[in-house]
A and B are shown apart, each in its own frame.
Chain A
Amino acid sequence: MKSWKTPTPEQVTKAVALLGHAEQYRYFFDRFENPLWIEPLETKGFFSSPPQATQDEERGTIGFPLWPESRYLARMAARAPEAVLKIILQIPDTDNIQVHTDLCDAALAISTELAAKWAEKETKWVEQQKNLYFLLPEKLGALVGHLAKGDQIEVALRLVRSLLAVLPDPRSASKTSEDEAYLLPPEPRSRFGTWYYKQILEKNVPDLVSAARENALTLLYDLLDSAIRVSRSEETDKGTEDYSYIWRPAIEDHEQTHSYDLKNLLVSAVRDAAEQIARADPTYVPALVEKLERRSRLVFQRIALHLLRVFPDAARPLTAERLLNQRLLDAPWYQNEYRHLLKNYFGDLSSEERERWLGLIEEGPPTQAKEGETVVPEQSEQKKTMWRRERLAPIVDILPTEWKNRHPEWVEGLVAPTDFRPFSMVVRWEYGDSPAQSPLTNSVP
C-alpha cells in the first residue's frame, strides 16, 4: 500500500497562498491525490462552504457549480474513509446537486458501516427535494445496493423509500377551473426521470430484495399503491378499483405495456421482487400470495395469480382454489392472469375439481341486470354463450370430449388463443372497431 507524505504546516500555508485565482484553486484540488492533506486543509477552513445552486429567475435557468473540494474528497474516500466521513457529515446543507453527487461517490467508496451514517443524513435531504438532476439518482440508487449488500438494511430501506417516493402531479395543484379537472387524469411523478427510476428498480432494488426480502416487498407495494392513488382523482378513487387491466393489460412483460410509466414500472418491480423471493425460497409462495391478496387494489390480486402460474409446484392447493373462485372466473379485470393459470393447470386439477369448474361454466355468469335495464332473453343467452366461450377458449384442446359433445354451441370453431388479455381490448386495437372483424365473434354460431 502506498505511503503518503505528511505535509508540514509551511507546505500547507504555501499551497494556500498560491490559490488566489479560481483556476489555481481548481487546478490544485483536481490534481491532488494525497489523503494526509485533508485535515490540514480542513483546519485552514476548506470543506466548509459548498457553492449553492445558482438560479436565474429571468431566464428561468438553474446552475450547479462544480466544487473541486468535494471531488477531492470523493477521490480520497477509499484512502482515508474515516477522515472523509468526518468531513462530509459536517458539510453544511447545499442545494447543489453536483456536490451531493461527489459526496455520494465518496460514500460508495467507503465501508457500508461508514456510508450508512452519511446515507441517513442524505435521506433527510432527499425528502425535501422536488427534483434530483444529472447522475445523482443513479448514484443514490447504487448506494442503496451498496448498503443492502453490506447489511445496512434499515438505512437502505429508508433511503430508497425517499428516493423512489411517488409525488402528486403538479398539474392537479394548479387547476384553476372545474373544466380543467376533465382534461387529463393526474400522472404520478418521481423526483427524477423515469429512465433512472427504471434503472434503480432493475439494478439496485434486487440487492435490497435479497437482503430485506419482505420489508423490501412491502415498500414496493406501498409505492405502487401510492402511484395508483395519485393517478386517481379523489372523487373517482373507490379504493379497490385501479383500472389496471387498461394501463397494464398483462402482468407479464408485454409489448403493449408502457415501459416508462411509473405505475407500470412499479408493477414490474413488485412482480420481479415477488418472483425473486419465491425463487430463493419456494416455500414462501403461499405467504407471498396471501400478502398480495391482502392489498386492496385489484392489481395485487393479478400479481398473485401471476405468481401462482410461475411457481405452480409451490402452492398447488392455492391454484385450485383460485381457479374455482367465482369472482376471479367472472371479473374481466383478472382474465389475463386467470386464463394463463387456467390453461397451464386445468389439466392438473383433480377430476372432482375439474367437474366443479365445468359446473361453474354451465351455470354461466351471475346475472345482474343494471337498474332500468330490460333483459331481452335472446340477447341474454347470447351474452352467456360469449362469456362461456371466452372462459373455455384457453382449455378447448384439453376439454373432455364427452363434455364438448354435450355443449357443441359453446366450443364450436373455438381456437385456443395465445393472448389472454381482455378480448375487447384486442378487438379494438388489432382488428378495428367492428365486431364482425373479430375472429372470436366470427366463430360464435
Chain B
Amino acid sequence: MSTEPATLPSPDVTLPRHLFLKIVTLIKDHETTRTKPEDAAIRLFEACAPENQQLRDSLRPVVLQWLEVTDWFMRKAHDSGKVDADCDGNEFRRQFELFELALGALVRGFFATVEGLDEILEDANS
C-alpha cells in the first residue's frame, strides 16, 4: 500500500508582501553597490597612472594578471579549511614577488622600474 500523498506539494512558497518587498530592496542595493573586482583594479591602475586611461584596453592583460595574484592571496585569506602549514612556501614566495613587482611598477616612477624591464629586454633580445 502506497504511503505517498495523492498530490505533490506545490514548489511555490508564499511570502507576506512586506517581506517580499524588503528582499527586493536588499537585492537591488546589493547590485548597485557591488563592484566587480576588474573594475576596481582598473580604477586602481588609472588612479596611480592617469595616462593609463588612454590605454585601458591595451593594459587589460596587466590588470588581469594583477587580479590573478590578488585572488590567490584572497583565497588564502579566507577560511578554506586548510592550515597555514599546507601552503606551498615556494608558491607563496612567487606570488608575493609578483605582487611586489606589480605594485612597485604601479606606484614608483618610470625610471625607478625601467631597470627591471631592461634586464628582461637584454636577456630576451640577446
A51 touching B101 in the complex, CB below 8 Å, given contacts A16-B62, A21-B51: no
A21 touching B117 in the complex, CB below 8 Å, given contacts A44-B65, A49-B60, A51-B58: no
Stretch from A23-31, A159-167, A234-242 forming part of the interface with B: A23-31
Interface 0/1 of A1-34, CB less than 8 Å to B: 0001101001101111111111111011001111
Q: Using a Cβ cutoff of 8 Å, how many contacts connect chains A and B?
A: 109
Asked if A33 and B55 sit within 8 Å, CB to CB, the answer is no
A34 touching B113 in the complex, CB below 8 Å, given contacts A17-B105, A18-B101: no
Chain B interface, >50% SS class: helix
Q: Is A65 an interface residue (CB 8 A)?
A: yes
Asked if A65 and B54 sit within 8 Å, CB to CB, the answer is yes
Asked if B117 and A27 sit within 8 Å, CB to CB, the answer is yes
Asked if A5 and B123 sit within 8 Å, CB to CB, the answer is yes
Chain B contacts with A in 38-79, Cβ cutoff 8 A: 45, 48-49, 51-52, 54-55, 57-62, 64-66, 69
Q: Is A357 an interface residue (CB 8 A)?
A: no
CB distance from B44 to the nearest CB of A (A): 10
Asked if A18 and B57 sit within 8 Å, CB to CB, the answer is no
A34 touching B62 in the complex, CB below 8 Å, given contacts A18-B105, A20-B49, A22-B51: no
Residues of A within 8 A of B123 (CB): 5, 11
Chain B residue nearest to A52 in the complex (CB)? B57
CB distance from A1 to the nearest CB of B (A): 15
The CA-CA distance from A50 to B65 in the complex, in Å, is 19
Q: Is A275 an interface residue (CB 8 A)?
A: no
Chain A contacts with B in 15-70, Cβ cutoff 8 A: 15-25, 27-28, 31-34, 37, 44-46, 49-51, 65, 67-69
Asked if A20 and B45 sit within 8 Å, CB to CB, the answer is yes
Q: Is B120 an interface residue (CB 8 A)?
A: yes
Asked if A17 and B58 sit within 8 Å, CB to CB, the answer is no
Chain B residue nearest to A15 in the complex (CB)? B120
Asked if A19 and B121 sit within 8 Å, CB to CB, the answer is no
Asked if A27 and B60 sit within 8 Å, CB to CB, the answer is no
Chain A contacts with B in 375-434, Cβ cutoff 8 A: none
Residues of B within 8 A of A21 (CB): 48-49, 51-52, 105-106, 110, 113
Checking B57, B117, B125 against A51 with a beta-carbon cut-off of 8 angstroms, the contacting residue is B57
CB distance from B88 to the nearest CB of A (A): 15
Asked if A17 and B65 sit within 8 Å, CB to CB, the answer is yes
Asked if A18 and B120 sit within 8 Å, CB to CB, the answer is yes
Residues of A within 8 A of B98 (CB): 13-14, 17
The CA-CA distance from A24 to B120 in the complex, in Å, is 12
The CA-CA distance from A385 to B76 in the complex, in Å, is 107
Interface size for chain B: under 10, 10 to 19, 20 to 34, or 35 or more residues?
A: 20 to 34
CB distance from B124 to the nearest CB of A (A): 4
Interface 0/1 of B2-24, CB less than 8 Å to A: 00000000000000000000000
Asked if B102 and A24 sit within 8 Å, CB to CB, the answer is no
CB distance from A144 to the nearest CB of B (A): 30
Asked if A69 and B58 sit within 8 Å, CB to CB, the answer is yes
Asked if B120 and A22 sit within 8 Å, CB to CB, the answer is no
Chain B contacts with A in 84-126, Cβ cutoff 8 A: 94, 98, 101-102, 105-106, 110, 113-114, 116-117, 120-121, 123-126
Asked if A25 and B59 sit within 8 Å, CB to CB, the answer is yes
The CA-CA distance from A44 to B121 in the complex, in Å, is 18
CB distance from B6 to the nearest CB of A (A): 59
Q: Which of A11, A15, A22, A33 has the most CB of B within 10 A?
A: A22
What are 12 residue pairs bridging A and B, where the CB atoms are less than 8 Å apart in the complex?
A13-B65, A14-B101, A18-B117, A20-B49, A21-B110, A21-B113, A22-B54, A25-B59, A28-B120, A45-B60, A45-B64, A65-B55
CB-based closest 6 A-B pairs: A45-B61, A49-B57, A20-B106, A20-B105, A17-B102, A34-B124
Q: A17-B101, A34-B124, A51-B57 are in contact. List 17 more A-B contacts (CB 8 A).
A: A5-B124, A11-B123, A13-B65, A15-B117, A16-B62, A18-B101, A18-B105, A18-B117, A20-B45, A20-B49, A20-B106, A24-B113, A31-B121, A32-B121, A45-B61, A49-B58, A65-B54
Question: What is A's interface to B at a CB cutoff of 8 Å?
Answer: 4-5, 7, 10-11, 13-25, 27-28, 31-34, 37, 44-46, 49-51, 65, 67-69
